[in-house]
Structure formats: C-alpha cells, structure tokens
Structure 1
C-alpha cells in the first residue's frame, strides 16, 4: 500500500470509479433509497468484488460503500454502526490499497437529488449534529482517511469543516461542483478555502460533476493538493432514477487536471474499471 501523503507530494494518485454504478452493472439492485448501502447490507461479497475490480484496474485508493448510509431512521442505529464498520473492512479485504471512508452529504441520505442543491433548510448546527456520529464511527473503523464527498453547499462545507477540525483525522473534502448551492459568485472558491483551512484535510476539490467543470474548479483550490473525480458527463434524473446522455472519456482530460494541480484523480458515477485503467495509463 502506498504512503498517501508522500505520494501526493511527488505524483498524482489514482482513485477508483463509480462504485454504485459498477454494482448496478454487475446485476445488483441499487434502485432503493439505500443505493449501494443495500448491497453492503445484503451482499457484502459484491462490495468486496467491486473494490477489487477497481484496484485491479489501477486504483490506488478505494472509497467505501458508506456514501448513502447514515443515522436517519431507515435502518436501526446499531445496524448502521455495524454496516459503516463493515464498509471499511470490506474495502481493506479487497486489495492492498488506501481505504477512504465515504461521507456523503445529507442529500445522499434523502435520495431525492438534494445532493446537487444543498437545499435542506437546516442550520449549521443541525448539519453538524446530523454528520457527527457517522464521522466518529468511520474514523474509528480503521480507514486511512475520510472521503467527504459531493458536498453541495457552503453551509454544509462549513458544518463538516467544524466537525473535522474537532475530530482531527486525515480527510479530503470534495464539492459537488455543479450544485446549484454554489451559484452565488465566489461561493465555491470560498467553500474550498474553508475546507482547506482544516489541519487534517490533505486535499480539496470536486467530484460528481461534468468533466468540463473540473478545470475551472481546480483553479479555485487554495494551494493544497486537489481532488478531481467527475462523473462521465451523463445526467442523473432523481425523479426517475435513470441516467441520460452520452459518456465522455475521462482519461483524455486527466493529464490536464494533473497539470492544473490535481493529485487525487479518478471517476465518479458511471465510471468503470476500464475508465480507471485508462486514467492510470494516461497518468503514467
């Protein structure tokens, strides 16, 4: 397994791809509000196999199946805690790679598309409380770092930054760069600065956005390693739970992201092990 901090100082590191959409492609049902967490609960061997497929393709970091799992009443709290811990164990068992424990936004728990708007009507304190227990469980589960990802609004970034500051564990923070929560001028850049100010945060950037959004977002990263793992350019319809549009080849753009400062590079929704293998080859 690589030393992530050392590697980031020297060269780009390859992230994995879209775990939920790979599980779907492998024949798993991810249509419920639990998404990949349903497979984590009911068929852990599939989670392990999906992680292994990305590692075999060249991913040096795999992100756990905890994105859409939280203490929100859909599953008994004791089961949630056990599943969060399982998500880290399965990733660890799958391959000798860095394990990043996924912390998705509150919108991911709602499964209503609000991870692309951040429009929850909650205060910073409410957001901190909603995230706190999951952050602590994942931090104690043995992951190498936390992957705080697809965060859709400055308010949620602020809440998570305060919690991460208190927690004091390594993390990267990645924004949902196309979210309508960042339409105010300068709001995305300000949120990246807030995230980067936390001592334990080793990188900040963007994910789950169109590939064309990445370069403008990376230009706003304030002087620390950056993260870039967009989706393939297809559009998610939360109402019908279907994807639309054509896929873009991420590997063609990856060298430009690295030239712009990206040090953690991979794919998000709809990106496959083949995409990750192509990114790894392009970065070599």
Structure 2
C-alpha cells in the first residue's frame, strides 16, 4: 500500500497553485501507440496487454505540463472485466494496474526532472470513476437514461474505489456523470467509507445549463457543494464551445473550485463507437482563456485531446 500525498491532496494542490492543469485523452494516445480501443472496455483494454503504453501516455501528459493524471479506469470495473471472462481477482488486479501505471509515470517524470524549476509543481493522480452508463457501453453516459437505487450505485462503484484508494491515488475523479442520482450516491459513498479522500464531481451535459438527465447545473452544484470531500465541481466531455457558459453557471452556484475538461469538439456516435471530426476543428486551447475568465480553477481535456493541447494550456497558464 502506498501512502497518500495528503488526505486533502486536491485542496492542498489548489492552495499551492491555481489554475491546475488536468491531462487529456487516454484512448486517442493509446491508438497512436497501436492499441485497439474499439471495444466495450475502450482504453481499459490496454491494462490487459499494454500497460507500458498507459504509463507512456501518462508520462507524455506530465511532460506537457499536466498537474493531474487521471487513471485509465473510467471503463475499468470488475463486472466489465468479468464479462470478458477474467476472474474476479484478475479484474481487481487490472484496476490496481491503472493506478500503478499512473503513479509510476509520475515517479519516472520526477526522477528525470530533479533540480528543474518544474520539480516543485503539484503532481496528483486522480482515480477515474466513470458512471454506471459507461459500463453499459451503449452511450448511456451521454443520456443519463438509467436509474438505480442509491445502494445499487454504491455497490457498483465501491470495489473500484476501494482498489484505487488502496493503490495510492490522491483523489477520485467522479467524471462524465450524466445524472444527479448517481453523483449523490458517489458523494455519499465517499463521505461514509472513504473519509480520508477527496474527489471532484464533473458532469456530462445536455446543454450548457442542464445535465444529461435534465437537472439544472445550479441544482447539481448545490446538491454536492455541502459535502466537504467534494473538492471541485464541474463538467467534462462536452463540446468546448459549451464550456464557458457552464463554467460561469457553476461558478455562480457554488463556492467550490470549478473544473472543466471538454473534448476537442469532434462528435461521438455511441452506437458505432466512432467520431466525426469537427468541421472547423475547434481545439481546446482557443477556448481556455474564456473558461479561466468565467471562474475555472482546473482545466484540461477529455476525448480526442492530446499532449499538444495540454502543452498549450500549460503555456497559457504560465503566461498569466
């Protein structure tokens, strides 16, 4: 078991430096390294046969200036691996691998930059906890069109969270959450069973003002804003041109730091698991100054973004 940086790693890092830079896409970079991600497990497939590639991607984002690496566990959960025919123990081991490769990338990065001025910057590992809809692998994380009881959500998410925590992540990333019920269940699980850990909660949106399930973003922010361990609230995997309005609404609705990491503007088709490139190619660095002006404290990229995008965000923040 590895010790955590601090019980309040995210809050502490924000106190040291704001804004913080979150990393970018995993699957896009794995594909560049020859890993096939067109399957129900998506980028988590690499944990089975190419963990070296996962570490390599994390390292590339640290080199590009990221402060936070998100583990390759968005789609990695015990039932998903068992569906592939792996044993329960093998499934648990692979989730641990997701954390271990991110931590190893951070250590490699630190070791190669001893004495650099960048050596002192905060470097955190956030354990990705994707929604139940991601496990369904039918695009449900973009509709929120599912509902389980609080206990069912907790039972689904608990094993992955326990393994990630035991493997040494600094915080959890409750990400791409399409409905408020699931986010509330995760926040409750965090408070009840992981008292030493923090998390951010970020939502997928139908439009700039509403979660995929129709909940107003202001209502989602206030529902989670009174839970001390929720260290930041925000949005991810939305089109970059939707982000500024969403950030402003969240910033006005909560005193928590706001996190935003959109996709690059390409359009995802869940039924075929393919992408259509954005007609003019938006890219996230162009929009980031607006997010910062609207009140964002953590910025990064989601699907289809690259280390070059993160390098541009990092340069932007340094210039400020």
If the length of structure 1 is used for normalisation, what is the TM-score? 0.93
Q: Does 1:211 align with 2:222?
A: no
Question: Cα–Cα, structure 1 residues 145 and 178, in superposed 2: closer, same or farther, change >3 Å?
Answer: same
In structure 1, which of residues 252, 257, 270 is the aligned counterpart of residue 304 of structure 2?
270
In structure 1, which of residues 88, 92, 115 is the aligned counterpart of residue 141 of structure 2?
115
CA distance in 2, matches of 1:216, 1:210: 11
CA distance in 1, matches of 2:128, 2:22: 13
Shift of 1:5: 2.6
Which stretches in structure 1 are left out of the alignment for 5+ residues?
A: none
- Aligned 1:181-260 pairs, distance under 5 A: 182=212, 184=214, 187-221=216-250, 222-246=254-278, 247-260=281-294
Aligned to 2:63: 56
Aligned residues of 1:118 and 1:156 also touching (Cα < 8 A)? no
In structure 1, which of residues 102, 105, 108 is the aligned counterpart of residue 128 of structure 2?
102
CA distance in 2, matches of 1:124, 1:187: 20
Q: Does 1:151 align with 2:177?
A: yes
Q: Give the total of aligned pairs.
A: 283
Q: CA RMSD in A?
A: 1.9
Secondary structure of the 2:304 match is: coil
Task: Provide runs of 4+ in structure 1 moved above 6 Å.
Answer: none
Measured against aligned partners, the alpha-carbon deviations of 1:17-46 in whole angstroms (never above 9, x if no partner) come to 001121112221001111111101111100
Aligned residues of 2:263 and 2:304 also touching (Cα < 8 A)? yes
Measured against aligned partners, the alpha-carbon deviations of 1:104-128 in whole angstroms (never above 9, x if no partner) come to 0011112110011121242232222
Which stretches in structure 2 are left out of the alignment for 5+ residues?
A: 111-122
Measured against aligned partners, the alpha-carbon deviations of 1:181-228 in whole angstroms (never above 9, x if no partner) come to 5453x5322122222222111111000001122122222321111100
CA distance in 1, matches of 2:314, 2:202: 20
- Aligned 1:6-25 pairs, distance under 5 A: 6-9=12-15, 10-25=17-32
In structure 2, which of residues 98, 104, 110 is the aligned counterpart of residue 93 of structure 1?
104
Secondary structure of the 1:62 match is: strand
Aligned to 1:136: 162
| CA radius of gyration, larger in | 2
